[in-house]
């Protein structure tokens, strides 16, 4: 799978080649009444780790090539030239307020609908692989951030829905609160299949939002895992687990979060060694966990980690 984001998008032709509001309880649903869905990746197909291409600039090409070689099979990018060089690999629709006015993939004078169309078409062009633009498609496209107005968010979403299922099978949204997701999900024809948010203690590790995602078959992708969780990466269970299995603390944290919270990790290192270390390390931990003799140690270590999450599991 080759997945790209921000409108989070992924180019299927590449996949062939490379093989904040308080919220009520978890009974809430984002499903409307028998409305059509885009095709979403099954739980088995959904990636558990994604290589992120933000801030790589002219090194995007090299980093992505190295990440593929290291074993990454899902990639995240954005039609937001200030932070992503989508044209050097692959894509998100990013609203005007988050764009550099001098360097945007559409005119800010366009309506929101027109902006979304222009942004996705530019992503399809940038991410085509040896095919005419008309044959290019993306595995998923994300709305990079909701608009301050829910009406505008819905307008952008309706424009994204036009691309489903033929050009883009799955849609997602980033930097969204529980209330915003619930509102969008109840009105969307194509339900959000991906939520990409910063995972951190300050927002209770998005506990309620993750529960809403889980209830509705929506994958939660976590960014900021290393940068926004300094305490967590240095906590005892993470360090002990790293020492037990022989991986670095970053891999230990990635794995513990995947297993305990069920989240997909976004990893954006620019260092080749760390790319290989993440993929190889996760494989090593999975193998360690399969060994029945480690079951007791895992229960103790993961239990200790859950305590560090302060009830926000």
Binding residues for ligand NAP (CB under 6 A): 52-54, 76, 174-175, 196, 223-227, 250, 266-271, 274, 278
**Residue closer to ligand NAP, measured from CB, 223 or 288:** 223
Question: Smallest distance, Å, CB 16 to ligand NAP?
Answer: 22
Question: Smallest distance, Å, CB 62 to ligand NAP?
Answer: 13
**Residue closer to ligand NAP, measured from CB, 59 or 165:** 59
* 176-181 contact pairs (CB < 8 A, 24+): 176/145, 176/146, 176/209, 177/20, 177/21, 177/209, 178/21, 178/22, 178/23, 178/208, 178/209, 178/212, 179/21, 179/22, 179/23, 180/21, 180/146, 180/150, 180/153, 181/30, 181/209, 181/212, 181/213
Region for 126 from its dihedrals, namely left if φ exceeds 0, alpha if ψ lies in -120 to 50, beta otherwise: alpha
Question: Smallest distance, Å, CB 34 to ligand NAP?
Answer: 31
**Residue closer to ligand NAP, measured from CB, 9 or 53:** 53
Q: Which of 6, 30, 2 minimizes the C-alpha distance to 209?
A: 30
Structure-token pair, residue 217:
């078959």
Phi, psi for residue 10 in degrees, rounded to 5: -140, 145
Question: Smallest distance, Å, CB 160 to ligand NAP?
Answer: 15
**Residue closer to ligand NAP, measured from CB, 267 or 309:** 267
**Residue closer to ligand NAP, measured from CB, 28 or 141:** 141
Distance of CA 135 to the CA centre of its chain: 24
Question: Smallest distance, Å, CB 224 to ligand NAP?
Answer: 5
**Residue closer to ligand NAP, measured from CB, 270 or 306:** 270
The residue number whose beta carbon is nearest to ligand NAP equals 52
Question: Smallest distance, Å, CB 72 to ligand NAP?
Answer: 12
């Amino acid at each position: 799978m080759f997945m790209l984001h921000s409108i989070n998008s992924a180019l299927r032709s590449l996949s062939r080649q490379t093989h904040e509001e308080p919220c009520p309880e978890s009974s809430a649903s984002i499903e409307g009444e028998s409305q059509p869905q885009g095709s979403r990746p099954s739980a088995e197909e959904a990636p558990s780790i994604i290589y992120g291409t933000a801030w790589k600039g002219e090194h995007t090409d090299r980093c992505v090539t190295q990440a593929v070689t290291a074993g990454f099979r899902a990639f995240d990018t954005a039609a937001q030239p200030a932070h992503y060089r989508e044209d050097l690999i692959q894509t998100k629709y990013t609203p005007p307020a988050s764009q550099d006015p001098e360097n945007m993939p559409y005119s800010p004078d366009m309506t929101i609908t027109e902006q979304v169309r222009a942004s996705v078409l530019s992503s399809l062009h940038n991410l085509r692989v040896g095919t005419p633009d008309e044959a290019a498609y993306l595995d998923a496209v994300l709305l990079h951030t909701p608009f301050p107005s829910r009406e505008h968010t819905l307008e952008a979403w309706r424009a994204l829905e036009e691309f489903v299922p033929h050009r883009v099978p799955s849609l997602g949204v980033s930097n969204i609160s529980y209330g915003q997701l619930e509102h969008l999900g109840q009105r969307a024809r194509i339900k959000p299949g991906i939520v990409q948010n910063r995972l951190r203690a300050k927002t209770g590790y998005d506990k309620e939002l993750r529960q809403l995602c889980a209830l509705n078959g929506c994958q939660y992708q976590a960014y900021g895992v290393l940068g926004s969780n300094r305490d967590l990466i240095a906590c005892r269970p993470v360090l002990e687990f790293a020492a037990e299995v022989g991986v670095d603390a970053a891999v230990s944290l990635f794995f513990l979060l995947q297993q305990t919270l069920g989240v997909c990790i976004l990893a954006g290192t620019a260092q080749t060694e760390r790319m290989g270390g993440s993929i190889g390390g996760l494989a090593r931990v999975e193998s360690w966990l399969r060994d029945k003799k480690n079951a007791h140690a895992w229960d103790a270590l993961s239990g200790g980690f859950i305590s560090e999450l302060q009830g926000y599991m």
